[in-house]
């Protein structure tokens, strides 16, 4: 209508005063001073890649309002504008300066192509051994195709959160409680693979999924703490017994070595004494064959005889004397 054309003409004339500023700053200042009116349900507009008639209610998602088509648009970096002409998809605007036809063309969706961290709310899941646990996580996603993200699903971010929750419940049902804690990395990888397989037509890629907390029931948590304490005591007892065993082995090895060394010392001593005795006997035998050896032997024998009598007299009070003391 003529009133609508006059409104757009008035806004276009006002924007001329901002052309001396650079790029997106001029349009940001203009939109701040002259905010566009919200379109009705038959018109354009959007929020986070969705029409204004269906605003997402997730507080952890960024809101991306759709600008009013004034003909000239500066698309920021890592952002995609989905443009419709007469309600039909026309093109996707990449970062840079673009010219559109007012009234005929409208920016229906605005998507951020940056990686987003989406909180997956806590939910209850049942493990393979029938233990109910509370689990939550963080989902890292990125839009790769703005057209598919706009028309492939009504609310792409809400849909992927629901898909992450159902996939997480399904994967937890395959694991026991103990394996759930031990194989967290495997669980994350499996959830990412299932999400990417299911979202091929949504223009969205799941980069990674991180489980934040796994909270079992109170009674199970107490039982797990008791089990962990018992395992610690068991390991301590095993280590103590291993230490005592090694100590006994070391003592036995030491005693064995000492006994062997003592026996070897005694054997060496006996052998040395035997060699000395043999050498003495050999020397005596050689000396007996020489001239005058018999007289020397008789004198030595008489000395030993007298020394023996002296020792006998010192040790006892009774002395037995042979009948002929002169004949030993």
Cβ-based neighbours of 51, under 8 Å, separated by 6 or more: 45, 108, 109
Q: Which helix (H) or strand (E) is 116 found in, with range?
A: strand 116-126
Average pLDDT of the segment spanning 299-328: 66
Q: pTM score > 0.75 for this model?
A: no
The token duo for 208 is 């990674």
Cα–Cα distance, 283 to 261 (Å, whole number): 33
Reported confidence tier of residue 56, pLDDT bands at 50, 70, 90: very low
| Nearest of 109, 135, 114 to residue 124 by alpha carbon | 135
Cα–Cα distance, 183 to 214 (Å, whole number): 12
What is the structure's pLDDT at 218?
Answer: 87
Long-range contacts of 265-274 (CB under 8 A, 24+ apart): none
Cα–Cα distance, 107 to 47 (Å, whole number): 11
**Sole residue written with tokens 């060699």:** 275
The token duo for 281 is 């006997």
Cα–Cα distance, 309 to 264 (Å, whole number): 39
Note the pLDDT tens digit of each residue in 230-262.
Answer: 888 898 999 999 999 999 999 999 898 889 988
Note the pLDDT tens digit of each residue in 110-162.
Answer: 999 999 999 999 999 999 989 999 999 999 999 999 999 999 888 888 889 99
Give first-to-last CA distance, the chain, whole Å. 165
């Amino acid at each position: 209508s003529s009133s609508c054309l006059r409104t757009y003409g008035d806004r276009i004339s006002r924007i001329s005063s901002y052309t001396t500023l650079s790029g997106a700053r001029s349009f940001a200042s203009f939109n701040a001073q002259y905010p566009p009116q919200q379109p009705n349900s038959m018109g354009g507009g959007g929020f986070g890649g969705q029409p204004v008639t269906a605003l997402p209610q997730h507080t952890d998602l960024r809101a991306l309002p759709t600008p009013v088509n004034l003909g000239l648009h500066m698309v920021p970096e890592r952002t995609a504008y989905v443009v419709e002409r007469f309600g039909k998809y026309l093109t996707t605007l990449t970062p840079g300066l673009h010219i559109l036809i007012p009234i005929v063309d409208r920016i229906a969706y605005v998507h951020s192509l940056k990686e987003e961290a989406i909180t997956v709310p806590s939910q209850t899941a049942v493990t393979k051994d029938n233990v109910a646990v509370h689990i939550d996580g963080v989902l890292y996603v990125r839009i790769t195709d703005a057209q598919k993200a706009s028309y492939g699903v009504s609310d792409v971010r809400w849909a992927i959160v629901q898909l992450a929750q159902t996939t997480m419940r399904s994967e937890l049902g395959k694991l026991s409680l103990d394996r759930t804690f031990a194989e967290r990395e495997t669980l994350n990888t499996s959830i990412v693979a299932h999400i990417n397989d299911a979202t091929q037509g949504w223009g969205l890629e799941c980069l990674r999924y991180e489980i934040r907390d796994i909270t079992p029931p109170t009674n199970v948590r107490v039982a797990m703490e008791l089990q962990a304490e018992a395992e610690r005591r068991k390991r301590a007892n095993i280590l103590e017994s291993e230490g005592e065993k090694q100590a006994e082995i070391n003592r036995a090895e030491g005693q064995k070595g000492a006994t062997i060394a003592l026996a070897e010392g005694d054997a060496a001593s006996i052998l040395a004494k035997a060699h000395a005795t043999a050498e003495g006997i050999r020397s005596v035998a050689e000396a007996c064959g020489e001239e005058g050896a018999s007289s020397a032997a008789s004198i030595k024998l008489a000395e030993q005889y007298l020394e023996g009598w002296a020792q006998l007299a010192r040790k006892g009070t009774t002395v037995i004397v042979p009948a002929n003391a002169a004949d030993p």
